[in-house]
Amino acid sequence: MPPPPSSLPPRVLPNLVSCSRRAVTSAATAAAAAYSTAAAAGGGGGGGRPLRYAVLGAGFAGLSVAWHLLKHSPKGSRVRVDIYDESGIGGGASGVSGGLLHPFYGRVLNSGKSVWICCVARSKRMEPLGQMELAKMRPLSGEGNSLGIIRPPTSEKTADILLESSLQSCSLQVLDSDEAQCLIPGLCVPLNFAVYMPLALNINPKKYLQVALFFACQNMSDEASLSSSEQKECKLYNEHVNDLQQLAGDYDSVIICLGARASSLPELTNKLPLRTCRGVIAEFQLPSDTIETYGSQSPSILSDAWLSFQGPRTVSIGSTWQWKSENYSSSVSDDEALNAMEELLPKASAVYPGITKWKFVQARAGIRAMPPLTANGSLPLLGCLNDVIGKRSNCSFWLVGGLGARGLLFHGLAGKLTAKAVISCDENLIPPEFTCWKEP
């Protein structure tokens, strides 16, 4: 579910980029040293047992961590990654999200781009794309491909943010009303201009998670099995983990990627500065007797409500914000669906009046784990949890949490930084902006 553009100040972007580059550069040496130590102790090399990692959660964060653990493990290593999620792949908020990935923060996106390049390519049954630019990656949007995302601001404040901040960090196009309406006939442009993001992606979250990202993990394991010098395994278990200590004796590291449910673990209760927020999205379709359709080559729309078009006759509209909710069910009652439509439809019709011709089909919901507000913006919570939970074994514990409404944006970078830190046993590989939440 896309964030407002002001949630991540541009000033923090260069710091994140430089830190992540340092992390990538230094991690190889640290990982090799850590692997040598583990091999000498009988883990990960030769005839000893493989290095074993447990990843809790099979959403954007969990699958990204798993992918990067497999990708960045040292050559010749024996690695096993077990993913635990009682709801299956994309069973939480990740699978409910709108799938709009916009490049307001292009530097952050590019820092974690490798997971996108691999998974978008594989999900389209194409050859690996190598270092092909994001512009050549195709969206995964169900029946049709929408070209980018357009944002018509509805207030002077939003307009100032778009023009003063976003244009500094990525390539966007400012369109007048006529140009915007050429892309989307019937689009309402309240302030007579819109920002067009041609490189933005509109994906199907479930398809991306199940067909692309998890398949990429399995494929990497299969490719490694062809080598006589290394072995990689990745397995999914539809199981609930009651507490962390039950895994401690079987794994070298446990990485918690459970979103809002992370706080339900007894070791982490009341220890994470997360805010829960339930979001409802509504799916609409054009009636079969309606001739007019949404252009299959038209962009999706990001405004006070977002409209994620999945082909010419289907659209998801979101999202509501119900703070401090403890309702984790993806099902939506009739009353909740009605309240969501009463909130979302006026916002959607303010920029796309034609939505009133569409028919409500269903509503879905998920709980987002929102991070705290800091001087650097609302950034995910990463880092080692040994001091937080009081480590009582040789197993180390890590967290990827608080991705909130930006899981799609941050999961590649967060997964890469965390995996490298886990492999290297060095939290310093993670930029301090992501770990400062632990400071007293």
371 phi/psi in degrees, rounded to 5: -80, 165
- Residue 94: pLDDT above 80? yes
Pick from 72-86, 143-157, 268-282: least confident: 143-157
Chain center to CA of 233:
23
Nearest to 308, CA basis, from 277, 344, 255, 273: 344
pLDDT band at 77 (very low <50, low <70, confident <90, very high): confident
Per-residue pLDDT tens over the stretch 187-231: 999 999 999 988 777 778 888 888 788 888 888 888 887 776 778
Intra-chain end-to-end CA distance of the chain, in Å: 31
pLDDT score for 1:
37
CA–CA separation, 187 and 193 (whole Å) = 11
Alpha helices in 352-406 (DSSP H): 386-389
Question: Range(s) for CATH 3.30.9.10 in the chain?
Answer: 100-202+275-370
Q: What is 100-202+275-370's CATH number, 1.25.40.80, 3.30.9.10, 3.40.50.1110, 3.20.180.10?
A: 3.30.9.10
Question: Range(s) for CATH 3.40.50.720 in the chain?
Answer: 49-93+207-273+374-438
Q: Is 120 exposed, middle or buried (0-12, 13-18, 19+ CB in 10 A)?
A: buried
- Residue 238: pLDDT above 80? yes
Angle between helices 113-123 and 60-72 (to 10 degrees): 100
Pick from 136-140, 162-166, 425-429: least confident: 136-140
Per-residue pLDDT tens over the stretch 243-296: 898 898 899 999 999 999 999 999 999 999 999 999 999 999 999 888 888 887
CA–CA separation, 153 and 226 (whole Å) = 53
Per-residue pLDDT tens over the stretch 358-394: 999 999 999 999 999 887 778 899 999 999 998 778 8
- Residue 28: pLDDT above 50? no
- Residue 138: pLDDT above 70? no
Average pLDDT over residues 289-318: 89
Percent of the chain with pLDDT strictly greater than 90: 48
- Residue 420: pLDDT above 90? yes
* CATH architecture observed for domain 49-93+207-273+374-438: 3-Layer(aba) Sandwich (3.40)
pTM of the predicted structure, to 2 decimals? 0.82
